[in-house]
A and B are shown apart, each in its own frame.
Chain A
Amino acid sequence: MTSDLTNNLIELEREKVLSEVKERLNQNEDPMKIFEECKQGMELVGEKYKKKEYFLAELMLSGDLFREAMELIEPYLGEKKVEGDIKGKILLATIQGDIHDLGKNILATLLKLEGFKVYDLGVDVNPDIIVEKVKEIQPDFLGFSSLLTITFDPMKEVIDKLKEVGLRDKLKILVGGGITTPLVKDYTGADFQTIDAMEGVQYCLEIIRTRIVVKARGGI
Chain B
Amino acid sequence: MKEEYMTPQERMNAAINLKKPDRVPIAPIIGMDLPATYYGLNIAELHREPIKAVEAMVKFFDEFGGWDGYSTLPLVKIGYILGGLKFKAPGQELPDAPGYYGQFDEGEWMKVEDYKTIADIGWGKFVANEYIYRISDWTPEDVEENRKKYFQFALKGGEEYTIKRKMGMRTGANRVHPFFLLSLNRSLLKFTQDLYYRPELVEAALETMTDGLIKSTIAQCKGNGGNVVFVPEERAEGAIYPLKIFERFWWPYTKRIVESLYDEGIITWLHLDQCWDLNIPYFKELPRASCIIDLDGLTDIFRAKEILKDHLCLMSDVSGSLFSIGSEKQVEDYVKKLIDKLGVDGGHILSSGCEVPPNCRPENFRTFLKTGKTYQLSRE
A residues within 8 Å of B by Cβ? 12, 14, 54-58, 60-61, 64, 96-100, 102, 124, 148-150, 152-154, 178-181, 183-184, 187, 195
Contacts and interface: CB of A to CB of B under 8 A. Distances in A.
Interface in B21-57: none
Interface in B267-289: 273-275
Nearest to B192: A57
B99 A56 contact: no
B197 A14 contact: yes
B88 A55 contact: no
A97 B273 contact: no
B220 interface: no
Interface in B177-212: 188-189, 192-193, 195-197
Contact of B359 (A124, A149, A178, A195): A149
Contact of B88 (A61, A64, A99, A183): A99
A99 B99 contact: no
A150 B101 contact: yes
14 contacts: A12-B196, A56-B241, A61-B196, A97-B101, A149-B357, A149-B358, A150-B99, A152-B321, A152-B324, A179-B319, A179-B320, A180-B321, A181-B321, A183-B321
B242 A178 contact: no
A102 B106 contact: yes
B373 to A, nearest CB: 24
A187 B325 contact: yes
Contacts of B312: none
A56 B239 contact: yes
B367 to A, nearest CB: 16
Contacts of B296: 178
B357 A148 contact: yes
Interface string B228-245: 000000000011111001
Interface of B: 88, 94, 99-101, 103, 105-106, 188-189, 192-193, 195-197, 238-242, 245, 273-275, 296-298, 319-326, 330, 357-360
Contact of A64 (B193, B274, B322, B326): B193
Given A97-B101, A150-B359, 8 more contacts: A57-B242, A64-B193, A99-B103, A102-B106, A150-B99, A152-B325, A178-B296, A181-B322
Contact of B189 (A60, A99, A187): A60
B139 to A, nearest CB: 26
A139 to B, nearest CB: 25
B270 to A, nearest CB: 17
Contacts of A60: 188-189, 192
B245 A57 contact: yes
Contacts of A152: 321, 324-325, 359
B376 to A, nearest CB: 26
Contacts of A99: 88, 94, 103, 105
Contacts of B322: 181, 183
A190 to B, nearest CB: 13
B298 A178 contact: yes
Nearest to A53: B242
A149 B324 contact: yes
Contacts of B358: 149-150
The 7 A-B residue pairs whose C-beta atoms are closest, nearest first, are A149-B357, A149-B324, A149-B320, A97-B99, A181-B321, A187-B325, A56-B240
B103 A153 contact: no
A150 B102 CA distance: 12
Contacts of A148: 101, 103, 357
A124 B94 CA distance: 10
A174 to B, nearest CB: 16
B319 A181 contact: yes
B100 A97 contact: yes
Nearest to A181: B321
A184 B324 CA distance: 10
A124 B239 CA distance: 26
B193 A61 contact: yes
Contacts of B106: 100, 102
A57 to B, nearest CB: 5
Contact of A100 (B103, B325, B326): B103
B319 A96 contact: no
